[in-house]
Structure 1
């Protein structure tokens, strides 16, 4: 035996001498030395053991011929190991299981892998392998499981792959394979799972030979560029449980032979061009739980026999189905999801729908349904989403829905509903979206709305609602949009409405609201749109409206406002501005004395300015000398005022300094790095002169320390006003949750692309965060201002890669992982060299460490234009939400455009880019300031941005993958952009795939 092992040892590089470790341990030591291990995952692999059986990832069995244990399994997922595939592992004679899932194994897969003769399970998914698949892989006689998902393999699938002897699982998802799906895969008679999804195959048909795989249980060919008809031969797959042919170019009818798949559990055919009717004989599919044939061109009635199956999820939306919904569908005992939107269905819904089934999601929007809403929809108390917009439903909202505590999303707009809304309906505690727009509903908003603690979007415009808006509206603290225009609301706005600190849109135009605007509207720090046009509001326009820094839509026209125009309005960046037809008077502020603003001020008889139509009596001024005298008085008064302000400032500064000295003991400093300054040096510099930014979470100050170093100080504000101590310069707003999240997150992480938190200073009522100072501010300010010309393409690409690496660190390297939840260009800061740092972790959340899936948030958090579709509609948040937001940032860098722009109409940046690409080509979306010599690289990054903003979360790559894709663009190693990420959970039958509804 020793004579046999000696030549093998001579072939290995020298290792540290050991007298105890056996031969298999020496092989694994060689494996360890051949790879980079930056996280020291293999530290437990040392020479102190006689065998490697206690090492991380190693499992042994007792050998049959000796007492010495032998290595059977090596399992090292997500260990961040890097380097070429270590062929030394094939010298382990009894190795049957090898998994290196989600590492950075690179280069090509060597043909010598075929020497692992006993290997049964090989998982190299989510790595960096490139080149062609080794034609020798089928020479592994015992191989049953082969998963190479998420690499960069290219070329065609080798002809030899038809020779596998025992292979049961073949997964080649999300690579760069070329050619077409080969027919010889039908020769692997032992296959139970075949998954080739998300590969850029050439257009080709589904090989009829796949019908020979009679043991097949899972067939996934999602987004494989398939064309032509579905072959009848697939009906021979009697053991098939999951058939997924979605997102292809399949045409023709659904073959009747699919009704012979008597074991099938789910069928997904969505997003093709299939035509005709659903095939007869589907009643034989007695195990079918999910059918998704949405987004095709299917027609005819929905077969009654389909409704007799044990369906849990039925998705037939965006087709041409017509006729009525079979009454028998209400008898399906397991049905929890029914989506039929965007068809031509008519008639009434079965009145006992939901009585016998645990309905959770019902979407019948954009059809021609009539009649009343079934009162039994929430009989089982599980209804979560009720979407019925754009139909002709009539009658009232059933009182039973007012008791449906499980509801989270309601859209009943654009129907003919009438009568008063049940009181309990207004106060449903879990609802975050309530849309009742364009009906004939009447009555008042009930005071029970105080119980709607999760409500974010209240859209009730174009109805006949009346009465006063109740004071209880101020208790709905998560409210982001209140649209109630074109109703009959009257009386004053409730004083409590200023408590809605999350409010982004307030639209109550064309009502009968009277009185003055409530005091304290400056608390609407996130308000983007204020439309109170065509009411009976009076009094002065509050000066505080000029402090709404993110407001870009202001319409107060058609009211009875009087007095002068607040001078602070000049500081705002308004896209829509209308104060016409009021009773305003006095001189126009200088910046508004321009022709483009003329229509904004018409109909105010007392308003004067150098514009046609304003202050027509101005010509009656009798004496220029009189005007000269007034100007002199004004100038003299101004000089006196300036002198007084300077004197007051000096006195106040001395007073403030003295006051700080008294209160120094009240401050507590918590540092996260070695500091060269004290909290008192910070406090002395919190003057308004040093303010460099103000947003929804607080003010930011630039502080120059005595050492010459510069830091940025954020003073948080939050839900209620509290006076800061220690001589602070203003009354701040304290947000405990944001502060705790920021400190907890930034205090424990270290990365070059995450903004550094030096320390935090706190008193009982005031909280300060001290960061490293970023000379070039935020990416959003830089990109969308006149400074945008400084950002050439190499700089923009560097920013994208830096930010991606920062987010990748949060998602993959933090334990537990962290979801930022507010990724946007304004939260990416730039240093003097335009290096990017991810900042603002006030709403960051730790990912569910139980692995049970996405977490549900209590309300929508994020910024308009950046919120992922599934987050906005389901409140389910995970890393994929951040990836969508980062994709929007990439599109900003490529296009130079804002994420939301009036030019886009109802679209956001993502939809605008997709539409423009289809209609006008890539040149129409690329920022014209970018040099044409970078066009190829810009297009590749654009593709990555579109990949990140895929509507389906499963199609978005991980942030680690995004970093790799960007690095490939930068080094030009892999010119082909990757397609989309595939499914990674083969036997997934418990829940239907959520393809979402944006109806």
Structure 2
């Protein structure tokens, strides 16, 4: 177990929870976040500000959808009392009752039904994922848009809508054990509902190939954006970091077992039409099965070397904090405009980080002091010293609030001080 001196962040975590500052950002994200976390005071605060209980995100998901997914009975009761639409429909046709039934939240189902809630989808909670007949998808005019860990990604039309079709190579899909593992992970993915998670749509019924569909985000990946425009200004970088942290916190807080991404990279973070980031590609993620939630015994050597945590490279047992390490490297790139040491091989970089404790440089004029401190904590060589994503969210909200206050008090926003 790490000492308190070694893990300075641990002594501050209790303080940060007591001093948590939630920033009223653009869009419905705080209301949704509080609803999904069961934060009744936060929900009340947002509604008292005048935020509508029916305000929806880009995916048309309301706070009632989130609370119904997460089993937050008190929040569901509060939202219904405040006038939330019991039959609001998200972009996939799901009502709050659809989600409550899918997750077997019987008490919430009863509450929603008493208020007139309906379930147009009638999802079977024992078989939660949907199979899509391949004739519904136009596979003739599909366009190659990328290559994933196990196959190609195509832009296709499904019922008139652009979606992403991810194909699994035959060498992988032909292995019954591997295929079964993929199908189990895809069934899990479909149950996930969060504004910062790419939505899974279904698996094609195809005799020869394994193909699954997800929502298509036309603005591309964070990696593409960094290549085109370079480094972000601090408000944008912190706002994007919050998007990623919120999506990852949702995965890590999944019950009964947390979901570890294990391949969190800029290529696996996509930008939606509303200007928010969503985490995608859980083909490499696993559900931790160990009873000891602090130490998951998993095989190493998985994921992209440049963003790999040292303990994974060393093929040691590891846990959720491997994603925190990868997250820190992504945030570093957003401030810098891309990865450091681009001419050095990715595996060599991973080796140096694992055995020489090498880390990217933190140039003073690019990174606010609070960001530098957060990055040092997130990529700490001792996994136990890294903060949770819940703690990261709190710190980032405080940092963003400070940046916004400084920007608002600045007499001139077009001047550069040299």
Q: Fold conserved (TM > 0.5)? A: yes
Change in Cα spacing, 1:671 to 1:853, as seen in structure 2 (3 Å) is closer
What SS does the corresponding residue of 1:693 show, helix, strand or coil? strand
Task: Report the CA distance between 1:841 and its aligned residue.
Answer: 0.7
Instruction: Write the distance in 2 (CA, Å) between the matches of 1:34 and 1:964.
Output: 17
Instruction: Write the distance in 1 (CA, Å) between the matches of 2:376 and 2:393.
Output: 15
Q: Which residue of 2 aligns with 1:692?
A: 145
Q: Which residue of 1 aligns with 2:216?
A: 773
Task: Report the CA distance between 1:822 and its aligned residue.
Answer: 1.0
Give deviations 1:763-809, integer Å, cap 9, x for gaps: 354111111101111111221x23447x5443333221111101001
Task: Report the CA distance between 1:704 and its aligned residue.
Answer: 3.3
Change in Cα spacing, 1:799 to 1:746, as seen in structure 2 (3 Å) is same
Q: Is the 8 A contact 1:716 1:733 kept in 2?
A: no
Q: Which residue of 2 aligns with 1:658?
A: none
1:947 and 2:377 are equivalent in the alignment? yes
Task: Report the CA distance between 1:901 and its aligned residue.
Answer: 2.1
1:786 and 2:228 are equivalent in the alignment? yes
1:681 and 2:136 are equivalent in the alignment? yes
1:855 and 2:296 are equivalent in the alignment? yes
Task: Report the CA distance between 1:706 and its aligned residue.
Answer: 5.4
Q: Map 1:396-415; keep pairs closer than 5 Å.
A: none
Q: Please report the TM-score for the alignment, with normalisation by the length of structure 2.
A: 0.59
Q: Which residue of 2 aligns with 1:739?
A: 182
Instruction: Write the distance in 1 (CA, Å) between the matches of 2:133 and 2:291.
Output: 41
Task: Report the CA distance between 1:817 and its aligned residue.
Answer: 1.3
Instruction: Write the distance in 2 (CA, Å) between the matches of 1:900 and 1:851.
Output: 37
Q: Is the 8 A contact 1:679 1:761 kept in 2?
A: yes
Q: Is the 8 A contact 2:270 2:278 kept in 1?
A: yes
Instruction: Write the distance in 1 (CA, Å) between the matches of 2:207 and 2:302.
Output: 27
Q: Map 1:578-727; keep pairs closer than 5 Å.
A: 672=129, 679-682=134-137, 684-687=138-141, 690-705=143-158, 707=160, 709-717=161-169, 719=171
Give deviations 1:624-661, integer Å, cap 9, x for gaps: xxxxxxxxxxxxxxxxxxxxxxxxxxxxxxxxxxxxxx
Q: Is the 8 A contact 1:828 1:837 kept in 2?
A: yes
Change in Cα spacing, 1:904 to 1:716, as seen in structure 2 (3 Å) is closer
Instruction: Write the distance in 2 (CA, Å) between the matches of 1:792 and 1:912.
Output: 28
Greater strand fraction, Structure 1 or Structure 2: 1
Q: Which residue of 1 aligns with 2:103?
A: none
Instruction: Write the distance in 2 (CA, Å) between the matches of 1:34 and 1:712.
Output: 36
Q: Please report the TM-score for the alignment, with normalisation by the length of structure 1.
A: 0.26
Task: Report the CA distance between 1:843 and its aligned residue.
Answer: 1.7
Instruction: Write the distance in 2 (CA, Å) between the matches of 1:710 and 1:815.
Output: 33
Q: Is the 8 A contact 2:199 2:214 kept in 1?
A: yes
Give deviations 1:267-297, integer Å, cap 9, x for gaps: xxxxxxxxxxxxxxxxxxxxxxxxxxxxxxx
Greater helix fraction, Structure 1 or Structure 2: 2
Task: Report the CA distance between 1:680 and its aligned residue.
Answer: 1.3
Aligned pair partner of 2:242 in 777, 793, 801? 801
Instruction: Write the distance in 2 (CA, Å) between the matches of 1:33 and 1:963.
Output: 15
Q: Which residue of 2 aligns with 1:107?
A: none
What SS does the corresponding residue of 2:307 show, helix, strand or coil? coil
Instruction: Write the distance in 1 (CA, Å) between the matches of 2:310 and 2:298.
Output: 14
Q: Which residue of 1 aligns with 2:272?
A: 831
Q: Which residue of 2 aligns with 1:866?
A: 307
Instruction: Write the distance in 2 (CA, Å) between the matches of 1:844 and 1:872.
Output: 16
Task: Report the CA distance between 1:813 and its aligned residue.
Answer: 4.1
Q: Map 1:238-637; keep pairs closer than 5 Å.
A: none
Q: Map 1:38-187; keep pairs closer than 5 Å.
A: none
What SS does the corresponding residue of 2:284 show, helix, strand or coil? coil
Kindly tell me the number of residue pairs found equivalent between the two proteins.
288
Gaps of 5+ in 2: 1-37, 44-66, 75-126, 406-418
Task: Report the CA distance between 1:761 and its aligned residue.
Answer: 1.1
Change in Cα spacing, 1:788 to 1:685, as seen in structure 2 (3 Å) is farther
Change in Cα spacing, 1:827 to 1:852, as seen in structure 2 (3 Å) is closer
Task: Report the CA distance between 1:971 and its aligned residue.
Answer: 1.6
Q: Is the 8 A contact 2:300 2:312 kept in 1?
A: no
Change in Cα spacing, 1:959 to 1:741, as seen in structure 2 (3 Å) is farther
Give deviations 1:30-55, integer Å, cap 9, x for gaps: xx998568667686xxxxxxxxxxxx
Change in Cα spacing, 1:829 to 1:718, as seen in structure 2 (3 Å) is farther
Aligned pair partner of 2:399 in 969, 979, 987? 969
Instruction: Write the distance in 1 (CA, Å) between the matches of 2:40 and 2:129.
Output: 37
Aligned pair partner of 1:892 in 305, 323, 333? 333
Change in Cα spacing, 1:692 to 1:711, as seen in structure 2 (3 Å) is same
Change in Cα spacing, 1:41 to 1:704, as seen in structure 2 (3 Å) is closer
What SS does the corresponding residue of 1:922 show, helix, strand or coil? coil
What SS does the corresponding residue of 2:204 show, helix, strand or coil? strand
Gaps of 5+ in 1: 1-31, 44-669, 723-731, 927-934, 976-999
Q: Is the 8 A contact 2:134 2:205 kept in 1?
A: no
Task: Report the CA distance between 1:915 and its aligned residue.
Answer: 6.6
Instruction: Write the distance in 2 (CA, Å) between the matches of 1:856 and 1:734.
Output: 20
Instruction: Write the distance in 2 (CA, Å) between the matches of 1:891 and 1:809.
Output: 22
Task: Report the CA distance between 1:956 and its aligned residue.
Answer: 0.3
Instruction: Write the distance in 2 (CA, Å) between the matches of 1:974 and 1:955.
Output: 29
Q: Is the 8 A contact 1:871 1:877 kept in 2?
A: yes
- Structure number with greater CO (CA < 8 Å, separation at least 6) is 2
Q: Is the 8 A contact 1:799 1:836 kept in 2?
A: yes
What SS does the corresponding residue of 2:164 show, helix, strand or coil? strand
Q: Is the 8 A contact 1:718 1:733 kept in 2?
A: no
Q: Is the 8 A contact 2:170 2:209 kept in 1?
A: no
Instruction: Write the distance in 2 (CA, Å) between the matches of 1:849 and 1:912.
Output: 28
Instruction: Write the distance in 1 (CA, Å) between the matches of 2:145 and 2:302.
Output: 24
Task: Report the CA distance between 1:887 and its aligned residue.
Answer: 1.1
Task: Report the CA distance between 1:952 and its aligned residue.
Answer: 0.6
Change in Cα spacing, 1:701 to 1:870, as seen in structure 2 (3 Å) is same
What SS does the corresponding residue of 1:833 show, helix, strand or coil? coil
Instruction: Write the distance in 2 (CA, Å) between the matches of 1:896 and 1:871.
Output: 26
Q: Which residue of 1 aligns with 2:5?
A: none
Q: Is the 8 A contact 2:251 2:258 kept in 1?
A: yes
Q: Is the 8 A contact 2:237 2:331 kept in 1?
A: no
Task: Report the CA distance between 1:898 and its aligned residue.
Answer: 2.1
Instruction: Write the distance in 2 (CA, Å) between the matches of 1:953 and 1:691.
Output: 38
